[in-house]
Amino acid sequence: MGRPRTKSFAFLISLLLVGIIFGFLFQAIDRLLGFPRVLPDPDNLTGLVIVVIGSWLRFWAGSVFYGKNRSMVSFKVPPNLVTKGPWKYSRNPLYLGLILIGLGFSFFFFSYSYLLLTLVGIGLLQLEIRNEEKVLTQSFGEEYLEYKKHVRKWI
């Protein structure tokens, strides 16, 4: 499981399975609370398209990240700054993919609860990004600051 694509794919599959479980759970919660559907049929299929786009982005970003940081353990400073692949366009493509997956599942499962969880998650990610950027500035200094000047936080 040390290969970059294998790591990225395994994480993505587990993320999608959790997303589907949450979808059914939040659908039931919405029904109990009497919430209407977010989108009517067949518009909910738009959510599936968003999940596919988010999954593709997450897989691509994960493959590039683990290719450059093979021994990376989550929640540690990466040994190498990644600026290639999707990082040429976004400083946070892994998080962006995660957000798209959450939004897509919200629409696919017609769930206001899922949408609320995703929006709360976006707020928490903003706080996490702020902390990560401080650490990356300390670790990579001018190289990271220069990269930050040229690449947007999201897209």
The pLDDT value recorded for residue 1 is 47
Q: What angle do CA 111, 125, 129 make, to 5 degrees?
A: 160
- The CATH number linked to 62 is 1.20.120.1630
CA atoms within 13 A on the CB side of 16: 17
Round to the nearest angstrom and report the end-to-end CA distance of the chain.
Answer: 30
| 155 located within any domain | no
Whether 22 is covered by a domain: the verdict is yes
83 within a domain of the structure (yes/no): yes
The whole domain housing 53 covers 4-150
Least confident residue range of 64-68, 71-75, 95-99: 71-75
pLDDT in tens, 92-103: 999 999 999 999
**How many structural domains are present in the chain?**
1
Tens-place pLDDT, residues 25-52: 999 999 999 988 766 666 678 899 999 9
Residue 105 lies in a domain: yes
Whether the predicted pLDDT of 72 surpasses 90: no
What would the two tokens of residue 94 be?
A: 């892994």
Q: Which of 15-24, 60-69, 79-88 has the lowest mean pLDDT?
A: 60-69
Q: Is residue 87 part of a domain?
A: yes
C-alpha–C-alpha distance, residues 116 and 76, integer Å: 29
